[in-house]
Amino acid sequence: MAEQILSQDEVDALLKGISGGEIEEPEEAAETDGLGYTPYDFTRQQRIVQTRMPAMDAISDAFMRSMRNSLASALRRILDVTAVPMELERFGAFVRTLPVPSSLQIFKMAPFRGHALIVLEPRLVFNLVESFLGGSGSRNVRIEGRDFTAIEQRLIRRVVNLLLTDMEKAWYSLQPLKVQYVRSEINPQFAKICQPEDVVIINRYEVDMDRAVGSITTCIPMSNLESVRNRLMTTFQREQSEEDIAIQRTITENIKNAEVEFKVELGRTTVPAREIINLQVGDTLTLDRRTDEQLPVFVASKRKYMATPGVHRKNNAVLIKKKVLDPNRD
């Protein structure tokens, strides 16, 4: 294409038109770097501030190490597990990233309310199943268009039970939990543990088994953890080893099963020695309490409760009315 060069008359005409306002001069784009502000898109007001949670990071690290040991022991092979930095995301946006089918495991974390989710990537599921059945776990399997078989689901449940146990161990130092399996889903649309706009904590773990790689993801709604939210924001003070946790559980169970003396005092009276010598069957001793008064209950010689006497199923019994906060006060 031939170049077109303006003549001097044409150049003068253009300059005259610009100076006279007949030709509009193109506006330069405003530079925002030196103005002290950045552009803001008002159409996106669902931005989530990524909050740092040191205690949650420590729990995630403990869960990762425990999961590595339990999976390696169950599969009888060496594997590596690495954690991806924690993210906060809307539940609806997280669900849209999940493929179909996915291994979606729903569980409860008592005493927290609500449900949480563990997601096993489909290719990792098939690699785990093949490893359980004696294979190398590196075979390429067609994922799309098929559901998990009954055998695959049973083996998946085995892995999930290990993960839930590992989660209890990881949380024990901050908040003892009772993790309970609820159900399994394949389609993400049926795994609605919270509203789409609710914020969830996403922890992703990459599992590397030689040439087989896949991810395990935990999804916990922030609303479930409101009771310990402040503790999650603080620095994790102390991390207990698995041996410490096992010893603490053993001591706790032994204390719960220890036998203690439980005694109820009906009343007191003072009797001279000469009257005690002359006591006969059928004699009556007057105590210092009325029948409608509450009786002190002693546990290991310490006054712990107040109770009223009665009969339960033809046996003498007491009904606990209140707990004694200060044994030295009436």
Per-domain residue ranges for the chain?
54-246, 262-323
Which has the higher per-residue pLDDT, 41 or 128? 128
Question: 82-96: per-residue pLDDT in tens?
Answer: 999 999 999 999 999
Q: What is the dihedral of CA 55, 60, 64, 67, to 10 degrees?
A: 100
User: How high is the pLDDT of residue 162?
Assistant: 92
Comparing 151 with 23, the larger pLDDT belongs to 151
Q: Which residue has the higher pLDDT, 317 or 37?
A: 317
| Cis upstream peptide for 327 (omega within 30°) | no
pLDDT value at position 36?
63
236/245 Cα distance (integer angstroms)? 16
Alpha-carbon distance of 136 to 144, in angstroms, equals 22
Q: How open is the CA angle 229-204-216, to the nearest 5 degrees?
A: 120
CB 132 within 8 A of CB 139: no
Q: Are 89 and 201 in contact (CB under 8 A)?
A: no
* CA neighbours closer than 13 Å in the CB half-sphere of residue 8: 0
User: How many Å apart are CA 200 and CA 242, to the nearest integer?
Assistant: 28
CA–CA dist 24, 202 (Å, integer) = 53
CA 103 to chain centre: 19
**The domain 262-323 is classified under which CATH number: 1.10.3720.10, 2.30.330.10, 3.40.109.10, 2.30.40.10?**
2.30.330.10
Structure-model confidence comparison of residues 227 and 107, the more confident one: 107
What is the H or E stretch that residue 94 is in?
helix 91-96
- Planar angle of CA 234, 237, 238, nearest 5 degrees: 145
pLDDT tens digits, 209-223: 776 678 899 999 999
The count of residues in the chain is: 330
pLDDT at 62 over 60: yes
pLDDT digits (tens, 9 = 90+) for 233-288: 876 555 556 677 788 888 888 888 888 898 998 888 898 988 888 888 988 888 88
For 46-64, what is the mean pLDDT? 81
As a whole number, the mean pLDDT across the chain is 82
Contact criterion met (CB below 8 Å) for 299 and 306: no
CA 307 to CA 6: how far, in whole Å? 110
Q: Under CATH, what is the fold of the domain 54-246?
A: Chemotaxis protein chec (3.40.1550)
Predicted structure pTM score? 0.57
Model pLDDT, residue 43: 44
Going from the C-alpha of 264 to that of each of 83, 295, 316, 329, the distances in angstroms are 57, 7, 11, 17
Q: What share of the chain is helix, strand, coil (3-state, %, to 5)?
A: 35, 25, 40
**Using one digit for the tens of pLDDT, what is the confidence trace for 273-289?**
888 888 889 888 888 88
Give the pair of three-digit tokens for residue 320: 């606990």
| Domain 54-246 matches domain 262-323 at the CATH topology level | no
pLDDT in tens, 137-151: 555 555 555 677 888
Burial 52-77 (b: 16+ CB within 10 A, else e): ebebbbbbbebbbbbbbebbeeebee
Residue 44: band (very low, low, confident or very high) from pLDDT cuts 50, 70, 90? very low
- Per-residue pLDDT at 246: 81
